[in-house]
């Protein structure tokens, strides 16, 4: 099992709390401290200005399956700028059970949620088989969005595959979506993968206006280590946000390991 905790804000997955187990990454001697700087741009088909995002994330791994991260990001969506700070803690509860908690806060929250909280459990119920369960809530000025995640994940040879069901509730309306992920791992910690999702999701169609809409998303993402200290991560995403707009996104990031 490998660490693939790269954040892709433009895909439906958005922010994976627990991610795959960190055990093998630690065993392989990965550095305990990493800094990542990323940039993303998205074009919308409805004539809105391009979305842009820059992010900075500091991640430490003091011991096996224990991860702490602190992130800052600046976004420009619908012509409005936002800032956000986020933090996340992953810790083992037993040999097979891992817990993750996280939160975010936007002092501007013109488009981003004012605050968010999330928690997840990851359980390895059989060798190379993981079950994930999580809950999250995001609060905007006009509404709040609650979402659950139930995911089954399996590792085989140099690959992994997962299937997730995500029920969601926004403004008193409930629905759900599904997601399939596949990944290929190479080297000590490099990977590349595909994500496919379909269903009703909370969609921002204008500042302070979040609705449930039919969403279809496809993403190619990964991380490639150039040296023992430098890595690049990337993501290409196409998302159809109901009848409101299509969004094409490109993300690139650079990571340095101390």
Distance in angstroms (rounded) separating the CA atoms of residues 57 and 77: 20
- When the pLDDT of each residue in the chain is averaged and rounded to a whole number, the result is 88
What does the pLDDT look like over 100-130, one tens digit per residue? 999 999 999 999 999 999 999 999 999 999 9
Burial track 75-110 (b if 16+ CB lie within 10 A, e otherwise): bbbbeeebebebebebebeeeeebbbebebbbeebb
Which pLDDT band, with edges at 50, 70 and 90, does 31 fall under?
low
What does the pLDDT look like over 136-154, one tens digit per residue? 999 998 889 999 999 999 9
């Amino acid at each position: 099992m490998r660490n693939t905790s790269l954040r892709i804000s433009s895909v439906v997955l958005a922010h994976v709390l627990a991610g795959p187990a960190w055990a093998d990454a630690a065993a392989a001697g990965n550095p305990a401290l990493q800094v990542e700087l990323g940039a993303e741009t998205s074009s919308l088909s409805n004539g809105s200005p391009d979305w842009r995002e820059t992010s900075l994330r500091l991640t430490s791994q003091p011991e096996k399956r224990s991860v702490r991260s602190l992130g800052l990001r600046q976004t420009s969506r619908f012509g409005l700028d936002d800032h956000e700070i986020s933090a996340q803690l992953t810790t083992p509860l037993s040999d097979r059970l891992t817990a993750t908690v996280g939160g975010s806060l936007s002092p501007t929250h013109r488009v981003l949620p004012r605050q968010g909280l999330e928690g997840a459990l990851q359980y390895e119920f059989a060798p190379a088989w993981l079950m994930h369960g999580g809950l999250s809530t995001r609060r905007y000025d006009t509404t709040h969005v609650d979402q659950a995640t139930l995911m089954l994940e399996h590792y085989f040879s140099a690959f992994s595959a997962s299937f997730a069901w995500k029920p969601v509730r926004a403004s008193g309306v409930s629905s759900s979506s599904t997601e399939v992920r596949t990944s290929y791992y190479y080297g000590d910690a490099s990977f590349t993968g595909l994500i496919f999702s379909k269903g009703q999701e909370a969609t921002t169609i204008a500042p302070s206006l979040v609705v449930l809409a039919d969403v279809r998303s496809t993403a190619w993402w990964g991380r490639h280590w150039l040296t023992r200290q430098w890595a690049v991560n990337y993501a290409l995403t196409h998302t159809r946000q109901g009848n409101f707009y299509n969004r094409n996104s490109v993300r690139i990031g650079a990571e340095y390991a101390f």
